[in-house]
């Protein structure tokens, strides 16, 4: 048996891990590289022949795990794509959205003769998304009675809750080669415990010798979520009391639904006043609908908080989901107080940029930063305290209050990652993926000290190992 790391090895994005058992090949995730300027080149082709892959398992719908599936199918992949039911529904929206952006970007490249002539066309289209969607095959979570699913004559699959976003799963493979049986677990992205809406990550019950684990926050310990929720309430109250507007840049998938849930709960508890709240992202609105469809994946706490009949955690009286761009523009002229949650999360594009343009120069207003802001983004400049920033081609003074909420992360911290690994029986080798070098380095040192008996490996892109 063999494993090769083609992405998220020495970095965070582009997850693609190829597992070989006998003459069969199973690909774990097929994600897009994101971030700096060379990524488009890296996403133009796949590092293996798609028609040599037998099956694909998708851990969750984030683009850095799913965004290359259409290219895989377009280039000759013949097998299925196994995922949870919720992931299948979420992934379709994410892939369609990506195809739309790719089409618009290609049009721009053509018009402005941007890049080499042979690189201007769209990498995939909405039709390619439809073809990829046909390959999805649902697998039930172990929590809901899902047992082993035979995906190849010598490979079985089981899914456990990962607690990261709706539908996210920990993958366990049981593989047989020449009479020898080995089990491997892959965390996908692992959530923290206590993530609103979702079940906490579940440690697989079977003996497993090999773990591929994410390390996004391999060197960080989160503050308790309860503290962050208190701080959120205080900040909201302060801005609402002075009649200000709150702009909350947030990713459409996951972060938006978590924020809606928290603001809903704070309103019900009387910790914040009832005031108008808008979710202004068509993708977020569609994804919220997918959440409603998969209430079976809401955890017990969600049911306790919103147990009243007819109650929906993602809907309440003063919350409006904005659809058309006309309604979105109307918010620009509206007096405060109100809150608008909008994409993109790093303020690089989308409707949120317009909301920032119309609010940032007034000291009564506030910007709530709730997630990671990459180098070079508008979000990063605001976060670092720049007093003057460029928005939509003009310069604006940053007078609005900037609040940072670091603890709404959808990833486990270093203690939780270690506790998860320690919960697995029979673990011998651990592969560290999906983390910037310093995060993976620190996590490696941490678990090497606690568990000298484990073989801990930090693969680089293209590295191959026999199991
Ligand atoms: Zn993710």
Position 252 scores a pLDDT of 92
Cα of 173 vs centre of ligand 1, distance in Å, is 20
Residue 35 has pLDDT above 90, yes or no: no
Cα of 393 vs centre of ligand 1, distance in Å, is 32
Cα of 189 vs centre of ligand 1, distance in Å, is 5
Position 347 scores a pLDDT of 92
Could you tell me the CA-to-CA distances from 115 to 36, 70, 120, 122, 427 in Å, in that order?
16, 23, 7, 13, 48
Cα of 372 vs centre of ligand 1, distance in Å, is 13
Residue 157 has pLDDT above 90, yes or no: yes
Position 349 scores a pLDDT of 86
Reported confidence tier of residue 171, pLDDT bands at 50, 70, 90: very high
**150 contact partners, CB below 8 Å, separation of at least 6:** 156
Cα of 410 vs centre of ligand 1, distance in Å, is 8
What percent of the chain has a predicted confidence (pLDDT) above 90?
82
Cα of 168 vs centre of ligand 1, distance in Å, is 8
Distance separating alpha carbons of residues 211 and 187, to the nearest angstrom: 8
Between residues 225 and 266, which one has the greater pLDDT? 266
Cα of 91 vs centre of ligand 1, distance in Å, is 12
Cα of 60 vs centre of ligand 1, distance in Å, is 7
Cα of 340 vs centre of ligand 1, distance in Å, is 24
Cα of 411 vs centre of ligand 1, distance in Å, is 8
Cα of 245 vs centre of ligand 1, distance in Å, is 30
Cα of 343 vs centre of ligand 1, distance in Å, is 16
Cα of 114 vs centre of ligand 1, distance in Å, is 31
What percent of the chain has a predicted confidence (pLDDT) above 70?
99
Q: What is the pLDDT of residues 297-309, one digit of tens each?
A: 999 989 887 767 7
**45-54, 402-411, 439-448 — which is least confidently predicted?**
402-411
Nearest alpha-carbon partner for 32 in 61, 53, 55:
61
Other C-beta atoms lying within 10 Å of the C-beta of residue 108: 11
Cα of 109 vs centre of ligand 1, distance in Å, is 29
Cα of 139 vs centre of ligand 1, distance in Å, is 19
Residue 329 has pLDDT above 70, yes or no: yes
Mean pLDDT in residue range 339-360: 93
Distance separating alpha carbons of residues 362 and 342, to the nearest angstrom: 19
Distance separating alpha carbons of residues 223 and 262, to the nearest angstrom: 17
Cα of 364 vs centre of ligand 1, distance in Å, is 34
Cα of 337 vs centre of ligand 1, distance in Å, is 33
- Domains recognised in the chain with CATH numbers: 2-220+410-466 (3.60.15.10), 225-404 (3.40.50.10890)
Contact, 410 vs 372, CB < 8 A?
A: no
Cα of 438 vs centre of ligand 1, distance in Å, is 19
Cα of 258 vs centre of ligand 1, distance in Å, is 14
Position 304 scores a pLDDT of 84
**In which residue are the tokens 């190992």 written?**
465
Distance separating alpha carbons of residues 157 and 147, to the nearest angstrom: 8
**In which residue are the tokens 């920990």 written?**
170
Cα of 301 vs centre of ligand 1, distance in Å, is 22
Mean pLDDT in residue range 258-279: 96
Question: In which element (H, E) is residue 234 found?
Answer: helix 225-241
**In which residue are the tokens 């083609």 written?**
6
Cα of 164 vs centre of ligand 1, distance in Å, is 7
**23-32, 72-81, 375-384 — which is least confidently predicted?**
375-384
Residue 87 has pLDDT above 70, yes or no: yes
Position 114 scores a pLDDT of 79
Cα of 68 vs centre of ligand 1, distance in Å, is 15
Position 40 scores a pLDDT of 74
Reported confidence tier of residue 37, pLDDT bands at 50, 70, 90: low
Cα of 159 vs centre of ligand 1, distance in Å, is 16
Nearest alpha-carbon partner for 366 in 210, 171, 459, 234:
234
Distance separating alpha carbons of residues 436 and 229, to the nearest angstrom: 27
Cα of 226 vs centre of ligand 1, distance in Å, is 22
Residue 36 has pLDDT above 70, yes or no: no
Residue 375 has pLDDT above 80, yes or no: no
Distance separating alpha carbons of residues 143 and 159, to the nearest angstrom: 9
User: Parallel, antiparallel, or unpaired: how do β-strands 429-433 and 455-457 relate?
Assistant: parallel
Cα of 380 vs centre of ligand 1, distance in Å, is 20
Position 121 scores a pLDDT of 86
Cα of 309 vs centre of ligand 1, distance in Å, is 32
Cα of 261 vs centre of ligand 1, distance in Å, is 19
């Amino acid at each position: 048996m063999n494993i090769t790391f083609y992405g998220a090895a020495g970095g965070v994005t582009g997850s693609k891990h190829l597992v070989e058992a006998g003459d069969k090949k199973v690909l774990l995730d097929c994600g897009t590289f994101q971030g700096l300027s060379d990524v488009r080149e890296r996403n133009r082709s796949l590092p293996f022949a798609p028609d040599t892959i037998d099956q694909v398992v998708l851990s969750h719908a984030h683009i850095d795990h799913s965004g290359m599936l259409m290219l895989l199918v377009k280039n000759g992949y013949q097998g299925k794509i196994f995922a949870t039911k919720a992931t299948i529904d979420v992934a379709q929206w994410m892939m369609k959205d990506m195809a739309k952006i790719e089409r618009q970007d290609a049009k721009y490249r053509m018009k402005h003769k941007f890049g080499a002539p042979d690189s201007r066309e769209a990498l995939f289209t909405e039709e390619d998304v439809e073809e990829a969607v046909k390959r999805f095959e649902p697998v039930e979570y172990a929590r809901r009675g899902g047992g082993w699913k035979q995906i190849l004559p010598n490979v079985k699959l089981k899914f456990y809750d990962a607690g990261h976003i709706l539908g996210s799963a920990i993958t366990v493979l049981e593989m047989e080669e020449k009479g020898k049986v080995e089990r491997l677990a892959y965390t996908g992205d692992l959530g923290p415990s206590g993530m609103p809406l979702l079940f906490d990550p579940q440690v697989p019950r079977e003996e497993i010798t090999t773990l591929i684990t994410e390390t996004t926050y391999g060197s960080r310990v989160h503050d308790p979520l309860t503290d962050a929720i208190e701080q959120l309430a205080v900040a909201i109250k302060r801005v609402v009391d002075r009649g200000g507007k709150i702009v909350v840049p947030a990713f459409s998938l996951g972060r938006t639904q978590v924020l809606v849930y928290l603001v809903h709960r704070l309103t019900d508890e009387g910790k914040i006043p009832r005031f108008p709240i808008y979710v202004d992202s068509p993708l977020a609105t569609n994804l919220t609908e997918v959440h409603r469809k998969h209430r079976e994946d809401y955890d017990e706490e969600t049911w306790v908080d919103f147990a009243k009949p007819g109650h929906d955690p993602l809907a309440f009286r003063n919350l409006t989901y904005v659809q058309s761009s006309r309604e979105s523009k109307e918010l620009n002229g509206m007096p405060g107080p109100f809150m608008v949650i909008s994409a993109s999360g790093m303020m690089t594009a989308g409707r949120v940029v317009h909301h920032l343009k119309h609010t940032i120069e007034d000291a009564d207003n506030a910007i709530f930063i709730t997630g990671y802001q990459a180098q070079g983004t508008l979000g990063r400049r605001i976060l670092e305290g720049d007093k003057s920033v460029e928005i939509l081609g003009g310069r604006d003074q940053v007078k609005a209050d900037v609040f940072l909420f670091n603890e709404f992360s959808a990833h486990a911290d270093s203690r939780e990652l270690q506790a998860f690994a320690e919960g697995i029986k029979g673990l011998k080798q651990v592969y560290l993926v999906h983390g910037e070098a310093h995060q993976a380095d620190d996590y490696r040192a941490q678990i090497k000290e606690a568990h000298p008996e484990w073989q801990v490996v930090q693969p680089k892109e293209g590295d191959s190992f026999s199991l």
